[in-house]
Amino acid sequence: MEVNGKVAVVTGAASGMGFAMAETFAGAGMKIVLADIEEAALERAVEQLTGAGHDAIGVRTDVSRLSEIEALADATIKQFGGVHVLCNNAGVGVGAPVGGTSIADWKWTLDIDLWGPIYGVEIFLPLIEEQGEGHINSTASMAGLYAGASLGAYNVAKHGVVALMASLERDLRWRESKVRASVLCPGPINTNIVDSERNRDPEDAARHVASAQGQKFWEFLTRTLASGMDPSEVGPMVLDAIVEEKFWVLTHPEMGEIVTGQNRAMLDDQRLTR
């Protein structure tokens, strides 16, 4: 797909991988709609792009609300007249074991990490198909391919995103659509997802149930991400998937051995790997 002059919408675009995508797309000649729940950070991100001569706007968006995804689509059409690319990137995380995760934590995680992409696909797909071609990418995780301990709600959401995008891609092929789909499964990236509760409603956040297991894992994850890949490296990977019509976007292909080992064990002795 040729992207120069096309319109891209990116959620979670004020920082991290989302901003990296927006900046990369803008550098390729695309018009950008940045969506994020953090207004101040969103304004700074838009100013950074427009200050560099790119055509970009920001729309404050809570992806867990269908009405705000609809408003995002309306703002995009009003500004640019159409949309060709959607990147469902906004996401949060909670460190807690299954059985030790509050219902509020389950709901918060699934509303943003899974329902956000579902809403995005449902609202934007018809608009993208009107253009004759386009692409929808959603950010999952290696946790969408391998469900480790202490991330139950996140694992469920990200496995759902992988299934959503694989189903979408096969449905699009079945009806011979020129719109393509892809899924981003990043490994350790130096983003601020470990601080995602900063955007959570305080009353809802108070329902979080802390556990020793979850806290220990979160400390480990914080250290791991701090030394992870720079988000700026991810934007070109997603752009390549859009241009070359690839489905899988893996930032750390070497981590695929974890998935391979799990599948091998499933077939060999039906036991779950650690």
Full-model pTM: 0.95
Q: How many CB atoms lie within 10 A of CB 129?
A: 15
- Compute the average pLDDT of residues 244-254: 98
Per-residue model confidence (pLDDT) at position 201: 82
Is residue 154 annotated as part of the catalytic site, yes or no? yes
Give me the pLDDT at residue 194, please: 87
Q: What distance in Å separates the CA atoms of residue 169 and residue 167, rounded to the nearest whole number?
A: 6
Catalytic pick among 19, 154, 217, 218? 154
Q: How confident is the model at residue 74 (pLDDT cuts 50, 70, 90)?
A: very high
Average pLDDT, the chain: 96
The enclosing H or E element of 17 equals helix 16-27
pLDDT in tens, 96-140: 999 999 999 999 999 999 999 999 999 999 999 999 999 999 999
Widest pairwise Cα distance in the chain = 58
Beta bridge partners of 139: 184
What are the angstrom distances between the C-alpha of 168 and each of 84, 163, 173, 195?
16, 8, 9, 31
User: pLDDT of 228-242, one tens digit each?
Assistant: 999 999 999 999 999
Distance of CA 15 to the CA centre of its chain: 12
Structure-token pair, residue 49: 């792009």
> What integer pLDDT is reported at residue 197 of this predicted model?
83
- Listed residue (234, 199, 192, 256) closest to 87, CA to CA: 234
Residue 197 vs residue 18, higher pLDDT: 18
CATH class of 7-268: alpha beta
